[in-house]
Structure 1
Amino acid sequence: MDKIDQKILGLLQEDATLSTSEIAERVGLSTTPCWRRIQILEQEGYITKRVALVNREHINVSLDVFVAVKTNQHNFDWLDEFAKIVSSFPEVVELYRMSGDIDYLMRVVVPDMAAYDTFYKELIRSVKLTDVSSSFAMERIKYTTALPLDYALPEEKNRRKRT
């Protein structure tokens, strides 16, 4: 990963619809070498997927709910079942296993409080939990899907890591 690769990734994170020639021009390459770099970034797993970001208000899911879950079940069978059940809810857009006071944290997107209540009732009906605590986001101050690229390993460290 060199600075040009970082620039390519930065551009694609901001707008995956850019043509290869537009990206090449912005990073100072001709089209073919730029296309080759993008292909390598995909093959090596730096680029895992290209998606469209949808306007949440247009599809009526503007409420973010952060749901903290505690359980007294700490075994692989329960975790596997919990992950399957939670993953089946389209409202759950993120799920994390946590350290500290809570066991799992999820971000749920819904239109309103009534929709969240319906989700909540279905969740607690589907899986045994010790405690569920919900926090409602009042304002989204910063949101991005772009990852910071300043921490990417330099090319020579990547090469050593791969061998």
Structure 2
Amino acid sequence: MSVRLDELDRKILRVLQQDAARSLDEIARIVGSSKTPVWNRIRKLREAEVIGQQTVILDAEKLGLEACFFVLIRTAEHDAGWQDKFLQTLRARPEVQEAHRLAGDIDYILKVRVSNARAYDVFYQALISEVRIHNVTALLSMEELKSTTVLPV
């Protein structure tokens, strides 16, 4: 269910997506409003869960996580028990940044960040020891061309 946003809401969201650490005064100045209405809008956007958890974005390479793998998974099992176990396994693995269930020939795709190919193999061995998987294909990203958390509002 989408939330109705006016232009001021959209301006506030664009500013927050660029840098959520900005002060309320700075946000109000940028969007051309005063502090109280901006604060009320932000509070309402949080209550409506348009604004979720606030966090920081870390540089994976500077932290030694230089390898990004996209892992394509096919499974022959689709029952609820298997899916629950698979989901628990993914949530327990900090290397998994994203996981998506897909339509088509591939059942799942994972975005996995690790230090190198050996670390990926450790992840892979742990994954297949915990959950039965029919086929796994790992694709190494050679270069990240675009990465953003910003949504077009």
Deviations 1:39-69 (A, max 9, x none): 1110111101110111112211121100000
- Whether 1:10 aligns to 2:14 is yes
SS of residue matched to 1:58: helix
Residue of structure 2 in register with 1:74 after alignment: 78
Instruction: Work out the percentage of aligned pairs sharing the same amino acid.
Output: 40
Residue of structure 2 in register with 1:126 after alignment: 130
Unaligned runs of 5+ in 1: 150-163
SS of residue matched to 2:69: strand
Give 1:98's aligned amino acid.
Answer: L
- Whether 1:51 aligns to 2:55 is yes
TM-score scaled by structure 1?
A: 0.89
- Whether 1:145 aligns to 2:123 is no
Taking only aligned residues, the RMSD between alpha carbons, in angstroms, comes to 0.7
SS of residue matched to 2:62: coil
Unaligned runs of 5+ in 2: none
- Whether 1:30 aligns to 2:60 is no
CA distance in 2, matches of 1:125, 1:44: 41
Q: How does 1:71-110 map to 2 (within 5 A)?
A: 71-110=75-114
Give 1:143's aligned amino acid.
Answer: S
CA distance in 2, matches of 1:63, 1:139: 10
CA distance in 1, matches of 2:66, 2:9: 34
